[in-house]
Chains A and B, each alone.
Chain A
């Protein structure tokens, strides 16, 4: 221990006496370790941290939407699950001036909160007893709601609270920090008292279904059990449940499945960055070890064994890596702030990312590993050299050709790793470029959107709803700067749209449940014009398409291709397959396709029907789209005022520019690209520094040789050419290896690309050229230095 402390003290002193080396090595390691710290924090928070529910390993998610009757049957019949339940987001509006305030909430079925293992902070959670016909309207509220709306009253349980939709009794308060798996909510109510038709409709697959396995049951057993139940339900309810499987998946896997590939890709990328940083440090240590051959020989002559010498050097490299780790924590903390700011919209779990003890342990671990791993090679080299020659008077530290080869090989490897990272970033960049040049099918510029959701009471009546929306649209259109305004039940790029089954008059009958799926949108008459969606054939919707008139609709080109097999749809009739009695809708026009599910998604068949002819009682919301020349901020206030004039109990929510929605559809790609791009730039810079370091060192070691060459007649440009050709030789081998690596790893990024192949030659060529230019720049300074060697001085110095 005493000698270890001595080694540490000596190592610290040596590092302190070589500030340039120490700063360079610590900064390089800090970049690598910091990037890893930041990404590990993200990976831990999003992929590794258990869900904050009781025994989360036993929680499952049903992949597709579920209906309440199906969930009840599953609970009754399952032998492998303790229970099934579901929930869906539901707004709760609080009356206010000038407009009602909207709160996030959720409708839950049965014992959903209990199934998650939630224990209330006060009162009780909702149970199956709250979820039946005629049950009292009760709510459970979040800790935030309890503090802000109920004054943190310990006696809040039993109090009533008035929402726009009615008065509810508070029966429980949830603990601080509780969140549903995929929805933010402050108010929780049972489904049946709140939405009876939905609770009874087996075809309303609107719920996010959950299950809790019995202890010891495997996923496969649970799936087999659910499949058997699904078969029984399909036989009993062929219309709603034909071909419907309850595909189960661990809840945690379900939540992270969308982001897992990108996060693992980025975690791999920072691993590359650390390797590149480590290679640079190894090269620095190797150069330093060459300068310390004499010291090592002296120590050996005094009786230090090889292990003891190695320990001395490892202590130094570990100390260096520890300093790099500490600095890396700062870099990581800073990088984490940027990552969270960039990605919290796409990955909500990022909000809770912290540098917790696990992250600190990870950083300490990789610092130690880095120190040992990257200190080992230089240490073994330094400790393994023959002693006697180094102790002689005038002995020069000799850089064996093997050692020079090792250094160059290391540079080759870091260039190769950089090429792989740059190729990945380049491919993502080109994908994003392709994506941004895709025509969305409408004009998203200068469009503002907002949501209006009406309470059932007093808007149970469809004409009354239509009247409300028409009134709002008239008032908005009259606002200064507004050129057009329209309403739609579903906005392009808004997630969560569910297609519906349609039948086509005159087509051969299709088995129930297997009818073609169409995205149905209830729209106001000016919708196509407001969005700039072209009308290809027929007519648009107009005021004559009112309630009571013949139901009409406009299909898109995709529907013409897939539903009408390219034939003329005008005059033909379609109907919702589940509607009873069946309502036939006559196709009066064909509109252009809109990439409504995202620019990278295929066009899907769509049907636009007039808002006034909306037959579905549960569709109580509309999204208003406003094209204007006024700034969104100024317009928003005016819109809220106008809506308040129509009904102050209807809040204006989700105010967004259409371009925001459009950008949101590829925000995930943007996030991945931004981070991978940043890591690739760091890698490129480190590779450049690495090339510079090795070439500069090689030149310093070869001063005598260069002086001799010049004494024999070599000119400055001959010497520059010599150094640059060696630089480019190293770089080109690295580039070649990197391109091979990029091609070998192309499958990893393939699923994230759009409009470009994973082996895209143009991208790989650009990356190769970029690396070559960086190598040339990095080699230029040492080459110039070599060209300026004074032969008389160089030869005399030796």
Chain B
């Protein structure tokens, strides 16, 4: 990849929801570059557009206007199949509610993205084992999600996000359903992944966790109102506090 081209670039991105006769402008002209290896937190009050932005970044949703490029390639107008392919290969998701599939074992949950990639079984097995070991869940491979604690489930979700070695990991309030101890553990895990070179974009409304990122973007009414480096964010946060 060209060093000058950011991994993610949003230019004038808008998203409008139409319900009956009401137009809701969830995102109103977002300009954002995220470089390879960055750890970015997106913050803001409820309804500011954080999750919508993350959904668009993860190609789960499409923008109404503007452009979106990943490693220089425009992706905003791709068809469903191509978007699914990019989600599978380039994006790893971590959700607030873990979103593990209850009928699949831990191993099978983590294996799922590789299955969709069409990876041979032996290679899948190795990769899943490695990912589970990395998050400390190797010993729970045959368990069902319902047999795990919330923290353990989120670790599995992280393993599923990293197993495909994506270009970027998107985390939507990854600690929202966890107690503080488990929350910290997951944040430590993300930090380790970042140190190892992963690009992470995390939505959080909790300043404590936003501090883990090296850059914080604040949204309000669908617009970026602040884009702060870690030190600035810490200062702002302290000032606010």
Taking a contact as CB atoms closer than 8 A, the residue among B81, B101, B104, B108 that contacts A305 in the complex is B81
| CB-nearest residue of chain B to A299 | B112
A308: B residues at CB distance < 8 A? 84, 116
Q: Are A303 and B87 in contact (CB under 8 A)?
A: yes
Q: Does any Cβ of A come within 8 Å of B68's Cβ?
A: no
Which one of A2, A17, A387 contacts B103 once the chains associate, using CB atoms below 8 Å? A17
- Cβ of A407 within 8 Å of any chain B Cβ, yes or no, is no
Contact A303 B89 (CB under 8 A): yes
Decide: B103 and A391 in contact? CB cutoff 8 A. Answer: no
Contact with A along B69-99 (1 / 0, CB 8 A): 0000000000011001101110001011101
Would you mind naming 28 contact pairs between A and B with Cβ atoms under 8 Å apart?
Answer: A2-B121, A6-B115, A10-B108, A14-B103, A297-B99, A298-B99, A298-B100, A299-B112, A299-B116, A300-B60, A301-B58, A301-B93, A302-B87, A303-B84, A303-B87, A303-B89, A303-B113, A304-B88, A305-B85, A305-B116, A307-B81, A386-B61, A387-B60, A387-B61, A388-B51, A388-B61, A391-B172, A392-B96
Which residues on B sit within 8 Å (CB–CB) of A14? 103
A384 nearest CB neighbor, chain B only: B80
B176 at the A/B interface (Cβ < 8 Å)?
Answer: yes
Q: In the complex the two chains form, what is the Cα distance from A787 to B36 in whole Å?
A: 59
B115 to A3, Cβ gap below 8 A? yes
- Interchain CB contact under 8 A, B101 and A295: yes
Q: Are A303 and B61 in contact (CB under 8 A)?
A: no
Q: Which of A3, A6, A301, A386 contacts B99 (CB 8 A)?
A: A301
Specify which chain A residues have a CB less than 8 angstroms from the CB of B101 in the assembled complex. Answer: 295, 298-299
A13 within 8 A of B: yes
Q: How many residues of A contact B (CB 8 A)?
A: 28
Q: Mark B102-124, 1 if CB is under 8 A from A, else 0.
A: 11100010001101111011000
Residues of A within 8 A of B100 (CB): 298
Residues A306 and B80 in contact, CB atoms below 8 Å apart? yes
Residue of A nearest to B176 (CB): A393
Cβ of A465 < 8 Å from any Cβ of B? Answer: no
B67 at interface by CB-CB < 8 Å: no
- Alpha-carbon distance between A166 and B100 when the two chains are bound, in angstroms: 90
- 7 other A-B residue contacts (CB within 8 Å) besides A299-B101, A305-B84: A294-B99, A303-B116, A303-B164, A305-B81, A306-B84, A386-B61, A393-B173
**From residue 254 to 305 of chain A, which have CB atoms closer than 8 A to chain B?**
294-295, 297-305
Chain A positions within 8 Å of B117 at CB level: 303
Nearest to B118 among chain A residues (CB) is A3
Counting chain B residues whose Cβ lies within 8 A of the other chain, the interface size class is 35 or more
B182 at the interface (CB under 8 A from A): no
Q: Please, which residue of chain B has its CB at the minimum distance from the CB of A14?
A: B103
Question: Given the complex of chains A and B, what is the CA–CA distance between A78 and B199 in angstroms?
Answer: 93
B residues 161-180 with Cβ under 8 Å of A?
A: 164, 172-173, 176-177
Chain A proximity of B8: nearest CB distance (Å)? 17
Which residue of the partner chain A has the closest CB to B157? A298
Nearest A residue to B52 by beta-carbon distance? A388
* Interface residue B9 (Cβ < 8 Å from any Cβ of A): no
The answer to whether A302 and B160 touch (CB under 8 A), given A295-B101, A391-B60, A393-B177, is yes
Complex Cα distance A3/B102, Å? 19
B binding-site residues for A, Cβ under 8 Å: 51-52, 55, 58, 60-61, 80-81, 84-85, 87-89, 93, 95-97, 99-104, 108, 112-113, 115-118, 120-121, 160, 164, 172-173, 176-177
> Are B84 and A304 in contact, with the CB atoms below 8 A?
yes
Most chain-A CB neighbours within 10 Å: which of B52, B89, B103? B103
Are A305 and B60 touching (Cβ within 8 A)? no
Interface residues of A in 47-96 (CB under 8 A from B): none
Interchain CA distance A307-B82 in the complex, whole Å: 12
Residue numbers in A under 8 Å from B60 (CB-CB) = 300-301, 387-388, 391
- Shortest A525–chain B CB gap in Å is 86
Complex interface bits, A378-414 against B, C-beta within 8 A gives 1, otherwise 0: 0000000011100111100000000000000000000
Hey, which chain A residues are within 8 Å of B89, CB to CB? 303
Contacts of A298 in B (CB 8 A): 99-101
Q: When A3-B115, A303-B117, A306-B80 are in contact, do A393 and B97 touch as well, CB less than 8 Å? A: yes
A306 to B85, CA, bound (A): 11
Bound together, the chains give a CA A429 to CA B95 distance in angstroms of 63
- Check if A388 sits within 8 Å of B112, measured CB to CB: no
Query: Given the complex of chains A and B, what is the CA–CA distance between A57 and B103 in angstroms?
Result: 57
Distance to closest chain B CB from A728 (angstroms): 30
B55 and A303 within 8 A (CB): no
Report the minimum CB–CB distance from A532 to chain B (whole Å): 74
Q: A298-B101, A387-B60 are in contact. Are A304 and B116 (CB under 8 A)?
A: yes
Bound Cα distance A386, B177 (Å) = 24
CB-based contact A302/B95 at 8 Å: no
Q: Does the CB pair A302–B61 fall under 8 Å?
A: no
A294–B84 Cα distance when bound, in Å, is 16
Alpha-carbon distance A301/B60, docked complex (angstroms)? 7
Which residues of the partner chain B approach A302 to less than 8 Å between Cβ atoms? 87-88, 93, 112-113, 116, 160
* B97 nearest in chain A by CB position: A393
Chain B residues whose C-beta falls within 8 Å of the C-beta of A6 in the assembled complex: 115
Q: Which of B99, B104, B112, B120 contacts A391 (CB 8 A)?
A: B99
Q: Which residue of B lies closest to A18 (CB)?
A: B103
Q: A300's closest neighbor in chain B, by CB?
A: B84
A297–B117 Cα distance when bound, in Å, is 17
Q: Which of A299, A302, A305, A393 has the largest count of B CB atoms less than 10 A from its CB?
A: A302
Please name all residues of chain A whose beta carbon is closer than 8 Å to the beta carbon of B88 when the two chains form the complex.
302-304
Contacts of A388 in B (CB 8 A): 51-52, 55, 60-61
A6 to B96, CA, bound (A): 28
In contact, A391 and B84 (Cβ under 8 angstroms): no
Interface pair B99/A303, CB less than 8 Å apart? no
B-chain residues with CB within 8 Å of residue A294 when the two chains form the complex: 99
B87-A301 in contact (CB<8A): yes
Docked CA distance A301–B81 (Å)? 12
Q: Which A689-709 residues have C-beta < 8 A from chain B? A: none
CA distance A649 to B191 in the complex (A): 109
Residues of chain A in range 148-203 having any CB-CB distance to chain B below 8 Å = none
**Nearest CB of chain B from residue A380's CB, rounded to whole Å:** 13
Residues of B within 8 A of A2 (CB): 120-121
Q: Report chain A residues within 8 Å CB of B55.
A: 388
Residues of B near A17 (CB, < 8 A) are 103
In angstroms, Cα B96 to Cα A392, docked, is 8
Question: 3 shortest A-B CB distances, which residue pairs?
Answer: A303-B88, A305-B84, A388-B55
Within the complex, which residue of A13, A299, A306, A391 is in contact with B81, where a contact is CB–CB below 8 Å? A306
User: Chain A residues near B121 (CB, 8 Å)?
Assistant: 2
Give complex CA distance A17, B101 in Å. 14
Chain A CB count within 10 A is highest, among B88, B89, B120, B173, for B88
A residues less than 8 Å from B58 (CB atoms) = 301
Could you say which residues of chain B place their CB within 8 Å of the CB of A394?
A: 97
CB distance from B101 to the nearest CB of A (A): 5
B177: which A residues are within 8 A, CB to CB?
A: 393
Question: How far apart are the CA atoms of A6 and B112 in the complex, in Å?
Answer: 10
Q: Please give, as numbers and ranges, the residues of chain B lying within 8 Å of A387 by CB-CB distance.
A: 60-61
What is the 8 Å Cβ interface bit string for chain A, positions 4-18, against chain B (1 contact, 0 not)?
001000100110010
Assembled-state Cα–Cα distance A298/B176 (Å): 18
The chain A residue sitting closest to B117, CB to CB, is A303
Q: How far is the CA of A2 from the CA of B112 in the complex (A)?
A: 13
Closest to A302 in B: B113
Instruction: Chain B residues near A305: list those with CB within 8 A.
Output: 80-81, 84-85, 116
Q: How far is the CA of A394 from the CA of B84 in the complex (A)?
A: 24
With CB as the reference atom, state the residue of chain A lying closest to B84.
A305
- With both chains docked as a complex, state the minimum distance between the C-beta of B163 and any C-beta of chain A, in angstroms: 10
A303→B85 contact, CB < 8 A: yes
CA distance A303 to B119 in the complex (A): 13
A14 to B160, CA, bound (A): 21
Q: What are the residues of chain A within 8 A of B120 when measuring CB–CB?
A: 2
List the A residue with the shortest CB-CB distance to B103: A14
Check if A13 sits within 8 Å of B103, measured CB to CB. Answer: yes
Q: A741 to nearest B CB, angstroms?
A: 37
By a CB distance below 8 angstroms, the chain A residues around B102 are: 295
Residues of B within 8 A of A300 (CB): 60, 84, 87
Q: How far is the CB of A389 from chain B (nearest CB, A)?
A: 9
